[in-house]
Amino acid sequence: MAKMNFGGVVENIVTNKEFTLEKAREVLKNETIAVIGYGIQGPGQSGNLRDNGFNVIVGQRKGHSYDKAVADGWVPGKTLFSVEEAVQKGTIICMLLSDAGQISVWPTIKQYLTPGKTLYYSHGFAINWQDRTGVVPPKDIDVIMVAPKGSGTSLRTLFLEGSGINSSFAVYQDASGHALDKTLAMGVGIGSGYLFETTFKKEATSDLTGERGSLMGAIEGLFEAQYEVLREHGHSPSEAFNETVEEFTQSLCPLFGQKGMDWMYANCSTTAQRGALDWRPRFKAACKPVMEWLYASVESGNEAQISIDKNSQSDYRDKLNAELKEMHDMEMWRAGETVRSLRPENQKD
């Protein structure tokens, strides 16, 4: 592991230079990696592991995701099995089902977690809030985590492009004495850009905070607020969407993603610079109390319980689809659909 300085804070970082793909293959040469679940993370992680030369099988119940696995080249009876069969055959069990799915299938899976096996996660939810989920692993197995900081689709796409998504890693239980090496080998195997150290608790709390905060919840709320204000003051849908979303995603995000926010500020007009610098502390002052409230709700387990309760409802999928349809039908995103169709790359001759 290398020591890296992040703004004065030193962290443990692992890249594929310190822990090579060849070393990862050596560490896992006698392992059968069973990827359980073929939904969000399953396709990307299993595909990358397979392409990197690891022994991988998939466990998935019959249905749409099972058919997708077949279409992706997983062979029923050879590399594609039921969840129960895959857990029995695997030595590293990758729990890549949804959080609710992991809770429901845990009683079935637990009986096959024999001494010496490894339980692998990409999210700390089930273990960190085990008093609420009931997921308590046996003491004679390793429990590890590699959590990509992005979707499974992005993990796969960037891997195929020759890059990768950064991932956090953690060891919760080291029964074998070799859990850390297995963790890092899995991180390299799934195609991580670099790996940074965390704990199951920190990963779970930061992940839920980020999803509800700047990554999804807060950014959508901010977009809606600005778009509505512009529309209520007479601006057209096209103008409101371009000033709220399109310029942000197509012009500014790539700039500060590549070079940093200070660089992006330095390469905008002096009017934009001045306004952004003046209003930044006002937005921070308004938002930080909400972020503190959010973090407290996550840390207490309240957000986890809400998720467990909602996801366990028999009609949850129907309710979710109704909420997503409501967002889909908003004028802002319908305007966005039109704006996207007018991008040069979407214009046909």
The confidence score (pLDDT) of residue 74 equals: 98
pLDDT, residue 84, reads 96
Distances (CA, A) of 349 to 250, 343, 344: 23, 13, 11
What is the rounded CA–CA span in Å between residue 201 and residue 282?
31
User: Exactly one of 64, 123, 235, 328 is catalytic; which is it?
Assistant: 123
Are 45 and 72 in contact by the 8 Å Cβ rule? The answer is no
**Hey, what are 347's tokens?**
């214009």
Predicted TM-score (pTM) of the model is: 0.89
Cβ neighbour number for residue 20 with a 10 Å cutoff? 12
Q: Is 178 assigned a catalytic role? A: no
Percent of the chain as helix, strand, coil, to the nearest 5: 55, 15, 30
Counting Cα atoms < 13 Å in the Cβ hemisphere of 333 gives 10
- For residues 164 and 58, what is the distance between their CA atoms, to the nearest angstrom? 22
Residue 114 CB partners (closer than 8 Å, separation 6+) = 141
What is the DSSP code string of 105-144? HHHHHHTT--TT-EEEES-SHHHHTHHHH-----TTSEEE
- φ/ψ of 8, rounded to 5, equals 95, -10
If phi > 0 it is left, if psi is from -120 to 50 it is alpha, else beta; for residue 193 that is alpha
pLDDT at position 6, please?
82
Strand order in the sheet with 118-121: 2-6, 9-14, 195-197, 167-173, 142-148, 118-121, 92-95, 33-36, 56-59, 80-81
Phi-psi group of 25: left, alpha or beta (phi > 0 → left; psi -120 to 50 → alpha; rest → beta): alpha
d(CA 220, CA 327): 10
Note the pLDDT tens digit of each residue in 306-326. Answer: 999 998 888 999 999 999 999
Tokens representing 264? 């992006």
**DSSP for 17-82, written as a single string:** TTS-HHHHHHHTTT--EEEE--SSSHHHHHHHHHHTT--EEEE--SSHHHHHHHHTTPPBTTTEE-
- Supply the mean pLDDT for the chain: 94
Tokens of 272: 């934009």
DSSP state at residue 344: G
Provide the pLDDT for residue 260.
94
Query: What distance in Å separates the CA atoms of residue 36 and residue 153, rounded to the nearest whole number?
Result: 17
pLDDT of residue 78: 97
- Both tokens of 213, joined, read 């905060």
pLDDT at 150: 87
What would the pLDDT profile of 282-312 be if each residue is shown by its tens digit? 999 999 999 999 999 999 999 999 999 998 8
Six token digits for residue 244: 């709220």
* pLDDT for the residue numbered 349: 58
What is the mean pLDDT, run by run of 10 residues, along the chain of 349 residues? 81 89 97 96 97 97 95 97 97 95 94 97 96 96 96 93 93 97 97 93 96 96 97 96 95 91 92 95 96 97 94 91 96 95 82
Bridge partners, 13 (sequence order): 2, 196
